[in-house]
Structure 1
Amino acid sequence: MLLCIGCICHGQNTAKKVPLTEIIVSIEKQFNVKFSYAVEDVANIAIEKPNTSFSLQETIDYLNSKTLLNFKALDNRYVTVSVINKTISVCGIVFSDEKKSPLIGGSVIVNGIGKSTVTDEKGKFQFQNIPINATLTISYLGFESRQFTANELFSAQNNCKEIVLSTKNEELNQVLIKTYLTSGLQKYLDGSTVLNTKKFGILPGLIDPDILQSIQALPGVESANESIANINVRGGTNDQNLVLWDNIKMYHSGHFFGLISAYNPNLTNKVVVSKNGTSAEYSDGVSSTINMQTKDVVNNVFSGGGGINLISADAFLEIPITKKLELHVSGRRSITDLFESPTYTKYFERSFQDTEINADSEQNDTSSDFYFYDYTAKLLFDLNEKHQFRANIIGINNALDYSERLTNSNETESKTSNLSQKNMGYGGNWKAQWNPKLSTNFITYFSQYNIDASDYRVETDQRLTEANEVLETGTKLNAHYKSSDNLNFLLGYQFNETGMLNQTTVSAPFYSSTKKDVLLNHALFSEVEYNKKNTYLRVGLRLNYFQKFEKFLVEPRINIRQKLSNQFALKLEGEFKNQSTTQIVDFEDDFLGVEKRRWVLVTDNEIPIATSKQGSFGVEFNQSQLNIEATGFYKIVDGITASNQGFYNNFQFKNAHGSYTAKGLEFLANKTARQYSAWVSYTFSTNNYEFDAFTPATFPNNVDIRHSMGLGLNYNIYKNLKIAVGGIWRNGLPYTKPVEGDETIQNGNTTMVNYDSPNSENLDNFMRLDASLNYNFNLSQFVKASLTAGVINVTNQDNVINRYYKVNPNDSNDAVQVDNKSLGLTPNISFRVNF
């Protein structure tokens, strides 16, 4: 079957063009001739009519000049039509609709053949030798996507077609910085950071666009213990981050107990990270909001890819079912139970140090087996242009089996322990565009989190079982009203029902404890968003009602950005937020020494609702792709408990309510160019607890990091070869040492460490240098491949990330120091293909 082709002449008025089939019929009548052609060869081609004064040969010459077809007169009666080429070269320049400025880093995909590219610094793209009937999709974050056939973009004069993308109606919050540290990282006007994983470039130490690792490059975002499951945003704990995956609230975020993100990035369209000034639509995360969204457009193109590294293998597919229905799936599984790589060894030692699994024993013969997997699926259905339906599922699983054989008196006894950690989520939404001004989005989800552990202790012949379960359902309705091009209103309602179970059972002596709690939460929220010329403003209000406690919480939000000149802008953000779920650290009943955290619900007495008040003010400078930001912040979080802070001091087993106050300054300077991006970031902050029931009442926070600095450089060595080098330096974490000369104390029949003043000492400074190298190449016309190598801690720096003490088992008057170390030199390599 011949391919359809055609031509559109650059700069002509398409209103005067008529279908080629009509022109052929007219010529046949005028000259009494017959055209011989395949219908599909001339379909969808439109040109201007030839001059009626032309002769037959002049008319044929005109048709040949205006199309990619070959018109040839066999005699005075018959004219044949054939295809000249099956492939053509096209190019275009993509502009924004407002200022007609070039859009850098826009995505251009040739549907169906696996070819894609991004626009350069002039907004230009081009393809060589693509099918003449191919369809190209051009998209850019915050703008409406457009599709063109290849013949629409073809120009016989080799001119590039100018393509204008319109700003999305529902999004006033436009992109402020298009390349932020690396390609794929962008910054919005409201201060939030957006990670587009498809366009993601390269960051030091990373072999894949790990979502939760990438955001740690931002100032004010730390991981005090080097774990992505423990991200500390402006001094907060990890459970104070609201993590959403396609509007589903997630209660688990890491594989390998925090060293690898549990979210597969291959189908992720964007990740929005907000530290302050959050939309009134969101609450329940007093430190930050991490909102992950997967691809949401029906492309009618079959595509996919897969990859493998020294830890895991993964694959993803985008499968068109009909023109209106599409399925996206992804899956990933560790290969560590099949192949123990050097990377796995480093991760295993880091994850399980100072646990029963790595405990030395002369009598015991132990072995362990650890693996993880995750998967996602999304069904996309477009009923029509105004109604879209989506349904998705995500599953995350970590499993650990630990066996122990004790040989005593020539008898061998074998026992097995296990740990399972899962998070399942189901969600759906219905987007409706009722008219050009009014749109709604109805969202519903279900999230289930489970930890199930069975720990058989051979020495005591005792079995300990643990269970922690979270069941949450949520419903949200958002109504957006676009009053004008500059003004948008949001009104919404949200309902959540959260249930939690905590269960402990001991076999000898027998003990059982089960606790269940349920909490219903209603919320009304409204906000107005305004963006015109130099001013961006978003003001919102959220009203929360906790049905169980009959309590109302009012949460105002504000986000203002005022541009003073072409270079300078001022930024003001503020918010009140609350949180009704938290994690407690259980030192007495841990899971094999690996996972000590359990999710619990607030009780309003023993565990109060956590509330935060935060304000920040900053100045921005942006000129010639040099971006400099300085932001001061002040945050108070009230309602924290001693049990969820993980104290290693005299407060370790005490219950009390308190607060912490974090204040400081964040600085970032980032210079981007065609070949490179370089940045330096610095954060100064103080973070102090206040517990009235403790003595002293005020002392440094466990994650009080006074000074933190990051450096990074991405460089394109060649077109397809990139390198990234970066380093982190920060103060060591606070810790508490025992009283010198009186290191232990007797409490009844129990000997305990006698700690000195809390968090009065600091570990040595933390320092790490990372590097990555990426090479992209084509395996075929339709298959792209990439090879990425990364090294974490290139210099093999010996960093202590936690220090505590325990009673010496051989001398009850002595305390033994225990140091937890960070990852040493850890290499990894990844190979990926995409089609």
Structure 2
Amino acid sequence: MKETKWVLLLMLFVCQLIQGQERINKEPLIELLTKIEAQHEVKFSYAVSDVRDLFIKSPDKVLSLSEYITYLNQNTLLNFEILDERYITVTPLNKEISICGFVKENNYAPLLGANIIVSGTSKGAITSFDGKFELNNIPVNAKIVISFIGFKSESFPASDFFTVTNDCKTIYLLEEAQALNQVVITKFLTTGLQKLKDGSTLLNTEKFGILPGLTEPDILQSIQALPGIESTNESIANINVRGGTNDQNLMLWDDIKMYHSGHFFGLISAYNPNLTNKVIVTKNGTSSEYSDGVSSTINMSTKDKIGTSFTGGVGFNLISADAFLEIPLSHNLGLHISGRRSFTDAFTSPTYDKYFERSFQDSDIETNPNLSDGMTNSEFLFYDYTAKLLYDINSDHKIRANVISISNNLDYSEAYKTNEGDSISKSSNLSQENLGAGGSWTAQWSKKFRTKVSGFYSKYNVDASDERVQTNQILAQANEVLETGAKLNTYYDISKHLTLLNGYEFSEIGILNETTVSAPSYERTKKDVLRNHAVYTEMEFAKHFTFVRLGARLNYFQKFDKLLIEPRVSIRQKIVNALALELAGEFKNQSATQIVDFEDDFLGVENRRWILANEENIPISTSQQLSFGAEFSQNDLSINLTAFYKDVDGITVSNQGFYNNFQYLNASGSYTVKGIEFLANKTTDTYSAWISYTNSSNDYEFKTLTPSIFPNNVDIEHSVSMALSLNILEQLKVSLGGMWRTGQPYTKPVEGNETIQNGSTTVVNYDTPNRERLDEFMRLDASLHYTFKFSNSVNASFRAGVINLTNQRNSINRYFEVDPNNSDNAIQIDNKSLGLTPNLSFRVHF
């Protein structure tokens, strides 16, 4: 220990000696100019602020005046110009320079993956293994911002990096006291995707790179590049994380719980990425702060800093247009707003046609055989908007208020002629909306103690009115979710590396389901309310090669007088410099799930309804999950292998969407999924290549059904995705990638006895459930991204993308119906994937 102290003192002495020697070899520029004025009887004209803090090494000998001017021009970022025999002007240069640097911790260890951004532009870099970065063609007066998660950001003028000998400046970042999970892989698949120490994945949309097929940094499309995350029907409204259903994903937007995630019925993410700058995806080992979402947590956060200048952007693609603004109202008050709206009600594009065909295939809009095209009309539009008010009372107390609204609307009209020749028209409508509001107050009471108080309100509605031409019947439906919640978190930093979290959360959720039929007259209304109290505690230790988070959550359901205890764990230990081991586990629950209503669907478009647990025929869902992994990371190469086991209990037949003999039965059960996830990723400054593979086995168990054990509807045994993202030029990037997976299960009718009589109704006579498999799914996508400048403060980007380059027509669902022309036969109905779909986008940032 004593030897270590002496070494540190010696290093400190040497550093001070070197710094002192450097200062000795240089003198203030003003002093040198004064000497030249005296030697050559001239006068330098300059602004004191331009030269006051500059030092320069004096020439070894006395020079002529012209030699001095050349020397000064070569060794400073100033322009020295002789006006006449007496006067010389000195002005700052307005030119572009090349800079380089090393970013290190304050313990002199290099920081791999620090973000280097030229403020106000899209230009930037990521530090390499030794902490080095380089940038070319940087305006000399530009501001360079250096950041790394868990460390305080620093900014410098570009001129600070200028040296005559092209030496690279070393920057030391100080660790933040309130550090979040540190990054362990900093350029994961593409820029802006990073892996955190607790195993979660961070998506930073502000720095997001390019993924195949995408023309926008679509939040929920992007996370499907991660192993273990699929969408069996290509819909972001149906994201399957480790074999779960979409309703088992907890979706948070600035701590507001969201119940709707897609535009165009699941083909486009409903969350605008322009202000939603960070998304954390957690598949296991979730913080005890969060409940619900027995499969995953998708936590979206908007920008949280008040800017110093007015900034924003506008853009459009072939389906919608959007805009966002960041407005500093004062030094401690800011407003962030964004909005997006489709223009599909006024203009249709090839992209819209492909999306429409994919969304409404197998619906009454596309398949009603009794109406010709000229007698039907459909109009679809969507919009979303967000607003955030930021108020910094001071540096220790901050208040935030948020609002978000998401809406989809479909109007459908049809007409027919009566036997008398009269024309009669009917109109139908479907609207989906999710309105959320929330607020928070964070307070730093001391260096070690801080709190956060937050609350939210979320309202989700599906309202449908189906006016049916042939039966002269009106079917009205409504599904409403109304939830409010409040939370108190306290954080205490026991030491620099150890933090204790304690908290309390209250939530109240009410769900309404209503169906009304005009002829014959029928009405059904059901509303349930559930209150939940929870306390939780968690201890997090993070130091160099070790990360440990241990927590527990106690949930009390007031209506059922029921307690649920949920332990959580996440551990990461670096064994050697390039190899780390990871362990994660969790117990979770959720009380709100979605059922599939085959009888009361609207035009075949939307048939999922939110319902609430009643602990009778609809239990509270619970999950237990464990995973263990190893990660190798060295020289821009990252290899990750994870084995996982997950068991979810309390699912029901109605929320699985069976197309077999079970679909109208009432039973509860469980599913168990186990498998491995593999990811290999090579990332450099010029390219990123990756391949991911998931192998899993996913089975149901319903003890009251026969057979009781059979494959899960979303059981994908093998799934592979790969891509290459290439920086051809500094401003031009391309990306090409593909995915392949085995087909999902389906049930076919009994051969030779395809239909049976059920009372007075003929139904399909299904064989053993989920014994058959669809054909393999395969798709190839490509994207191109080009950036350019209108001026120093206005940047623009153009993107082009193609989904399904080969126009592969994959089957994503298969079921059977009784043949209306021959009730002894069943007809096969296949839902197809999105065909070849091009898209373009153009965006301007200012």
TM-score calculated relative to the size of structure 2: 0.90
What does residue range 245-260 of structure 1 map to in structure 2 within 5 Å?
Answer: 245-260=253-268
**2:415 is aligned with 1:405:** yes
In structure 1, C-alpha distance between the alignment counterparts of 2:180 and 2:304, rounded to whole Å: 19
In structure 2, C-alpha distance between the alignment counterparts of 1:399 and 1:13, rounded to whole Å: 72
* 1:416-462 Cα distance to aligned partner (Å, 9 max, x none): 00010011111111122222211222211111111111000011111
In structure 1, C-alpha distance between the alignment counterparts of 2:228 and 2:76, rounded to whole Å: 59
What does residue range 184-199 of structure 1 map to in structure 2 within 5 Å?
Answer: 184-199=192-207
1:144 aligned to 117, 127, 152, which one?
152
Classify the secondary structure of the residue corresponding to 1:141: coil
- Which residue is equivalent to 1:238? 246
Change over 3 Å in CA distance of 1:718–1:755 after alignment to 2? same
In structure 2, C-alpha distance between the alignment counterparts of 1:353 and 1:13, rounded to whole Å: 77
Aligned-residue RMSD, C-alpha:
3.3
Shift, 1:361, TM fit: 2.8
In structure 2, C-alpha distance between the alignment counterparts of 1:347 and 1:71, rounded to whole Å: 63
- Which residue is equivalent to 2:497? 486
- The count of aligned residue pairs is 812
Partner amino acid for 2:155? Q
1:177 aligned to 175, 181, 185, which one?
185
Shift, 1:167, TM fit: 2.9
In structure 2, C-alpha distance between the alignment counterparts of 1:624 and 1:103, rounded to whole Å: 10
**2:230 is aligned with 1:208:** no
- Which residue is equivalent to 1:438? 449
Change over 3 Å in CA distance of 1:74–1:818 after alignment to 2? closer
Shift, 1:84, TM fit: 4.2
* 1:649-702 Cα distance to aligned partner (Å, 9 max, x none): 111111111100111111111122232211111111111111111111111110
In structure 2, C-alpha distance between the alignment counterparts of 1:23 and 1:523, rounded to whole Å: 69
What does residue range 341-360 of structure 1 map to in structure 2 within 5 Å?
Answer: 341-360=349-368
8 Å CA contact 1:728, 1:769 repeated in 2? yes
- Which residue is equivalent to 1:30? none
2:384 aligned to 371, 374, 382, which one?
374
In structure 1, C-alpha distance between the alignment counterparts of 2:554 and 2:51, rounded to whole Å: 55
Question: Percent of aligned pairs with the same residue?
Answer: 58
Q: Choose 297-306 or 471-480, whichever is displaced more.
A: 297-306
Shift, 1:200, TM fit: 1.2
8 Å CA contact 2:313, 2:844 repeated in 1? yes
Classify the secondary structure of the residue corresponding to 1:564: strand
- Which residue is equivalent to 1:227? 235
- Which residue is equivalent to 2:323? 315
* 1:769-823 Cα distance to aligned partner (Å, 9 max, x none): 1111222222333222222211111111121110101111122222111110011
**2:729 is aligned with 1:718:** yes
In structure 2, C-alpha distance between the alignment counterparts of 1:110 and 1:14, rounded to whole Å: 30
Shift, 1:71, TM fit: 12
8 Å CA contact 1:439, 1:479 repeated in 2? yes
Classify the secondary structure of the residue corresponding to 1:777: strand
In structure 2, C-alpha distance between the alignment counterparts of 1:718 and 1:70, rounded to whole Å: 35
TM-score calculated relative to the size of structure 1: 0.91
Shift, 1:249, TM fit: 0.7
**2:462 is aligned with 1:455:** no
**2:814 is aligned with 1:803:** yes
**2:103 is aligned with 1:101:** no
8 Å CA contact 2:30, 2:51 repeated in 1? no
2:532 aligned to 521, 525, 548, which one?
521
Classify the secondary structure of the residue corresponding to 2:309: coil
Q: Choose 607-616 or 376-385, whichever is displaced more.
A: 376-385
- Which residue is equivalent to 1:118? 125
Shift, 1:747, TM fit: 1.8
- Which residue is equivalent to 1:7? none
8 Å CA contact 1:90, 1:150 repeated in 2? no
Q: Choose 693-702 or 297-306, whichever is displaced more.
A: 297-306
Change over 3 Å in CA distance of 1:711–1:639 after alignment to 2? same
What does residue range 22-41 of structure 1 map to in structure 2 within 5 Å?
Answer: none
In structure 1, C-alpha distance between the alignment counterparts of 2:310 and 2:800, rounded to whole Å: 29
- Which residue is equivalent to 1:4? none
Change over 3 Å in CA distance of 1:551–1:21 after alignment to 2? farther
Classify the secondary structure of the residue corresponding to 1:350: helix
Shift, 1:126, TM fit: 4.2
1:692 aligned to 687, 703, 706, which one?
703
In structure 1, C-alpha distance between the alignment counterparts of 2:358 and 2:57, rounded to whole Å: 76
In structure 1, C-alpha distance between the alignment counterparts of 2:332 and 2:51, rounded to whole Å: 22
- Which residue is equivalent to 2:15? none
* 1:710-739 Cα distance to aligned partner (Å, 9 max, x none): 121112222222221111111111111111
Q: Choose 328-337 or 609-618, whichever is displaced more.
A: 328-337
In structure 2, C-alpha distance between the alignment counterparts of 1:689 and 1:433, rounded to whole Å: 48
- Which residue is equivalent to 1:31? none
Change over 3 Å in CA distance of 1:427–1:128 after alignment to 2? same
In structure 1, C-alpha distance between the alignment counterparts of 2:387 and 2:22, rounded to whole Å: 42
* 1:497-522 Cα distance to aligned partner (Å, 9 max, x none): 11111111111111111111111111
In structure 2, C-alpha distance between the alignment counterparts of 1:626 and 1:50, rounded to whole Å: 43
Q: Choose 376-385 or 283-292, whichever is displaced more.
A: 376-385
In structure 1, C-alpha distance between the alignment counterparts of 2:283 and 2:831, rounded to whole Å: 29
Classify the secondary structure of the residue corresponding to 2:768: coil
* 1:23-47 Cα distance to aligned partner (Å, 9 max, x none): 99x99xxxxxxx99998x6399546
Change over 3 Å in CA distance of 1:84–1:265 after alignment to 2? closer
Partner amino acid for 1:273? V
- Which residue is equivalent to 1:42? 49
- Which residue is equivalent to 1:468? 479
8 Å CA contact 1:678, 1:713 repeated in 2? yes
* 1:453-488 Cα distance to aligned partner (Å, 9 max, x none): 100001111111111111111111111112222211
1:580 aligned to 591, 611, 617, which one?
591
Q: Choose 667-676 or 92-101, whichever is displaced more.
A: 92-101
- Which residue is equivalent to 2:764? 753
Shift, 1:128, TM fit: 4.7
Change over 3 Å in CA distance of 1:624–1:49 after alignment to 2? closer
Classify the secondary structure of the residue corresponding to 1:347: helix
8 Å CA contact 1:100, 1:164 repeated in 2? no
Change over 3 Å in CA distance of 1:123–1:21 after alignment to 2? closer
Change over 3 Å in CA distance of 1:418–1:94 after alignment to 2? farther
8 Å CA contact 2:588, 2:624 repeated in 1? yes
What does residue range 320-339 of structure 1 map to in structure 2 within 5 Å?
Answer: 320-339=328-347
Change over 3 Å in CA distance of 1:120–1:568 after alignment to 2? closer
Shift, 1:607, TM fit: 1.0
- Which residue is equivalent to 1:600? 611
- Which residue is equivalent to 1:3? none
* 1:71-114 Cα distance to aligned partner (Å, 9 max, x none): 999999xx998644456747352514145314435142435xx4
Gaps spanning 5+ residues in structure 1: where?
A: 1-9, 28-34
Classify the secondary structure of the residue corresponding to 1:265: coil
8 Å CA contact 2:457, 2:483 repeated in 1? yes
Classify the secondary structure of the residue corresponding to 2:234: coil
In structure 1, C-alpha distance between the alignment counterparts of 2:706 and 2:507, rounded to whole Å: 38
**2:317 is aligned with 1:306:** no
Classify the secondary structure of the residue corresponding to 2:823: strand
In structure 1, C-alpha distance between the alignment counterparts of 2:180 and 2:793, rounded to whole Å: 37
Partner amino acid for 1:826? T
In structure 2, C-alpha distance between the alignment counterparts of 1:592 and 1:393, rounded to whole Å: 31
Change over 3 Å in CA distance of 1:99–1:607 after alignment to 2? farther
In structure 1, C-alpha distance between the alignment counterparts of 2:455 and 2:328, rounded to whole Å: 24
8 Å CA contact 2:30, 2:52 repeated in 1? no
8 Å CA contact 1:574, 1:616 repeated in 2? yes
Change over 3 Å in CA distance of 1:526–1:22 after alignment to 2? farther
In structure 1, C-alpha distance between the alignment counterparts of 2:138 and 2:816, rounded to whole Å: 67
8 Å CA contact 1:205, 1:792 repeated in 2? yes
8 Å CA contact 2:624, 2:647 repeated in 1? yes
In structure 2, C-alpha distance between the alignment counterparts of 1:470 and 1:163, rounded to whole Å: 51
8 Å CA contact 2:116, 2:144 repeated in 1? no
